[in-house]
Amino acid sequence: MNGRREEEVGLLVVGGGPAGLVAAELAARHGLTVLLVDERATFGGQIYRQPGPGFVVRDPRRVGRDYWAGVALVEAARGAGVELRARTAVLSLRGTTAVCLTEGDEHVTLLRARRVLVAPGASDRPVPFPGWTLPGVVTAGGAQALVKASRVAPGTRVAFAGSGPLALAFPAQLRHLGVNVVLALEAGPAPRAPTVARLVVAGWGNAALLRDALTYRARLLGARVPLRYGRIVVRAEGEDRVEAVVHAAADADWRAIPDSEERLEVDTLCVGYGFVPSTELLRLAGCQFGYDENLGGLVVEVDAWQRTNVEGVLAAGDGTGVRGALVAMAQARLAALGAAADLGAVSRARAARLARPVRRQLAAKERFRRALLPLYAVGPGIYELATPETVVCRCEEVTLARLEEAMEATVDTDALKSYTRAGMGLCQGRSCQPQIGAVLARRTGAASEAGSLLDGANEARRPVPRLSGGQLAALAGTTPRPPVRPAAIGVLADDTVPDRGLFVGG
Partner 1 sequence: MDERASAESGTCVDAAREPGAGVLLPRRSDLSGEVPTDTDVVIVGGGLAGCALAYFLATQGVELAVLERAELNREASGTNAGSFHFQIAIHQLTGAGADADRDRLLADVRLLVRAAAMWRDLERELRADLGVHVTGGLMVAETPEQLQILVTKQRIERDGGLDTEVLTGAELRNFAPYLAEDLAGASYCATEGYANPLLAAPAFAARAFEAGAAVRTYAPVERIEQLQDAGAARFAVHHARGKVRAHRVVNAAGAWAHELARGNGFELPLRAEGLHMNVTEPRDRLLVPLIQHIGRRLTLKQSSNGTFIVGGGWPARAEPWPARPSVRWSSVAGNAAVARRVVPALADVRVIHTWAGVWAASKDLLPVVGESARVPGYFTCVVPTGFTLGPLMASLLAGQMTGTSATLPSEYSPDRAPTLARGGARQGGPS
Kindly state whether residue 222 participates in binding partner 1, applying the rule CB under 8 A.
no
Q: Report the alpha-carbon distance of residue 259 to residue 366 in Å, rounded.
A: 38
Nearer to partner 1, 256 or 439 (CB): 439
Task: Using CB under 8 A, pick the residue from 2, 180, 309, 361 that binds partner 1.
Answer: 2
Q: Report the alpha-carbon distance of residue 103 to residue 339 in Å, rounded.
A: 29
Nearer to partner 1, 353 or 462 (CB): 462
Kindly state whether residue 498 participates in binding partner 1, applying the rule CB under 8 A.
yes
Nearer to partner 1, 252 or 415 (CB): 415
Nearer to partner 1, 62 or 94 (CB): 94
Q: What are phi and psi of 89, to 5 degrees?
A: -100, 145
Name the segment binding partner 1 (CB under 8 A); options: 12-20, 65-73, 125-133, 404-412. Answer: 404-412
Instruction: Enumerate residues 98-127 that contact partner 1 by CB under 8 A.
Output: 99, 108
Site size toward partner 1, by CB under 8 A: 53
Overall size of the chain counted in residues? 506
Task: Using CB under 8 A, pick the residue from 94, 263, 353, 360 that binds partner 1.
Answer: 94
Query: 10 Å Cβ neighbour count for 262?
Result: 13
Nearer to partner 1, 445 or 490 (CB): 490
Task: Using CB under 8 A, pick the residue from 412, 436, 454, 474 that binds partner 1.
Answer: 412
Helix boundaries (H) for 133-287: 140-145, 169-176, 193-202, 207-222, 280-285
Nearer to partner 1, 89 or 185 (CB): 89
Name the segment binding partner 1 (CB under 8 A); options: 121-129, 170-178, 301-309, 452-460. Answer: 452-460
Per DSSP, what are the bridge partners of residue 246?
A: 235, 263
- Side-chain-side CA neighbours of 397 within 13 Å: the count stands at 0
For residue 224, count CB atoms less than 10 angstroms from its CB and return exposed for 0-12, middle for 13-18, buried for 19 or more. exposed
Shortest approach of partner 1 to residue 83 CB, angstroms? 23
Task: Using CB under 8 A, pick the residue from 418, 442, 449, 469 that binds partner 1.
Answer: 418
Instruction: Enumerate residues 462-491 that contact partner 1 by CB under 8 A.
Output: 462, 479, 481-483, 486-490
Helix axes 348-376, 325-342, angle to 10 degrees: 160
The CA-to-CA distance between both ends of the chain, in Å, stands at 29
Which of 225, 34, 219 shows the shortest CA–CA distance to 116?
34
List CB contacts of 264: < 8 A, sequence separation 6 or more. 159, 182, 183, 244, 245, 247
Q: Report the alpha-carbon distance of residue 289 to residue 175 in Å, rounded.
A: 38
Kindly state whether residue 211 participates in binding partner 1, applying the rule CB under 8 A.
no
Binding site for partner 1 (CB under 8 A): 2, 4, 92, 94, 99, 108, 402, 405-412, 414-415, 418-421, 424-426, 428, 452, 458-459, 461-462, 479, 481-483, 486-490, 492-495, 497-506
